[in-house]
Amino acid sequence: MSDRDPDCLFCKIAAGDIPSDRVYEDDAVIAFRDIHPQAPTHVLVVPRRHVPDVDTLADDDAGLLSALFAAVRRVAELEGLAKGYRVVTNVGAESGQSVFHLHLHLLGGRRMRWPPG
């Protein structure tokens, strides 16, 4: 799969073609605030490479996963989430996925409920 899908919202955000409130970035990952936050901190941690979802990751994507979770830890530290936070990724329309470029929702700054709806 190509690194970029020209019709993909998060590819456009990663390229800087659509503005976002970035809180972290490195060679493999960008993190920016969700436009409709569901918690005091709601950041989307996104690979620069276009991958639709967890289902389409390859077995040799271990390095990408490691980079995503390293970014999660870094953002949690920057946001002061020492008491805890939640990481969620939706896979497919039935789960609620609406943007088909892999992203981890990092939510924190309030007490989380379980189970999620």
Tell me which residues in 64-83 interact with ligand 5GP (CB under 6 A): none
Question: Which does residue 99 bind out of Zn ion, ligand 5GP, none, counting CB within 5 to 8 angstroms by kind?
Answer: ligand 5GP
Question: In the annotation, is 103 catalytic?
Answer: yes
Question: Which does residue 8 bind out of ligand 5GP, Zn ion, none, counting CB within 5 to 8 angstroms by kind?
Answer: Zn ion
Q: Is 96 in the site for ligand 5GP (CB under 6 A)?
A: yes
Residues 6+ apart with CB under 8 A from 103: 10, 44, 45, 46, 89
Which residues of this chain interact with Zn ion, rule CB under 5 A?
5, 8, 10-11, 50, 101
Query: What φ, ψ does residue 65 adopt, rounded to 5°?
Result: -60, -40
Kindly name the residue from 36, 42, 103, 105 that is annotated as catalytic: 103
Count the residues of the shown chain that bind ligand 5GP, applying the rule CB under 6 A: 13
| d(C-alpha 106, C-alpha 101), whole Å | 16
Question: What value, to the nearest 5°, has the Cα angle with vertex 85 and ends 70 and 106?
Answer: 60
Smallest CA-to-CA distance from 74 within 3, 110, 26 is with 26
**What is the nearest approach in angstroms of ligand 5GP to the Cβ of residue 3?**
20
Tell me which residues in 9-48 interact with ligand 5GP (CB under 6 A): 9, 20, 32-36, 44
Residues 6+ apart with CB under 8 A from 70: 29
User: By the criterion CB under 6 A, which residues form the site for ligand 5GP?
Assistant: 9, 20, 32-36, 44, 90, 96-99
